[in-house]
Structure 1
Amino acid sequence: MATGTIRYWAAAKAAAGTGEEPYDAATLADALVQASGRPGRAGDFARVLARSSFLIDGAPVGTRPHDAVDLPDGAVVEVLPPFAGG
């Protein structure tokens, strides 16, 4: 298991109800399941996660399965929902 921080941006921050929180998980999938199970997180949070991109210490996860993405101790997971703009 690794401990670290999940940072939420834009719509992810609104759905999570916080800008960041700790995790204690071995993989990205584990960390997201843990985050989804926190009190007060309903369908909006799951919908935002499903559309989001993820960075681990600044490196994009891309299309890798989240259960195959190991989290190093002290890592920062960035949750980036789609952004509007031009």
Structure 2
Amino acid sequence: MTGSTHETSASGTATVRYWAAARAAAGVGSDVVEVGSGTSLAELLDAVRRLHPDRPRLPDVVAICSILVGDRPVGAADPAEVWV
């Protein structure tokens, strides 16, 4: 299944890694996104979409792909309730 992973570091950034169709839609293998304390997955995904305004397929692919936060699958959890 298409997906991406998110890895948060102590420096206030999250590394978003794209796989399969998500990589093709983003046009890159990964992004580094600034995050603050209490950043939700929904906010992180909004930031990812803003990083690639020239990639029209990315929002649709991100909306349906499998996502891991660290090594945990997000599954059907509400992205607004998942902290990165």
TM-score with structure 1 setting the length: 0.74
Matches for 1:24-43 after TM superposition, within 5 Å: 24-25=34-35, 26-38=39-51, 39-42=53-56
| Runs of 4+ displaced beyond 2 Å | none
SS in 2 for 1:22: strand
What's the RMSD between the two structures over aligned residues?
A: 1.1
1:41, distance to aligned residue in structure 2 (A): 2.5
Q: Residues 6-34 of structure 1, C-alpha deviation per residue, up to 9 Å, x if partnerless?
A: 00001100110100011123111111000
Structure ranking higher on relative contact order (CA contacts 8 Å, 6+ apart) = 1
Q: Does 1:15 align with 2:25?
A: yes
Q: Does 1:50 align with 2:63?
A: yes
Unaligned runs of 5+ in 2: 1-11
How many residue pairs align between the two structures? Answer: 69
Residue in 1 aligned with 2:15? 5
Percent of aligned pairs with the same amino acid: 38
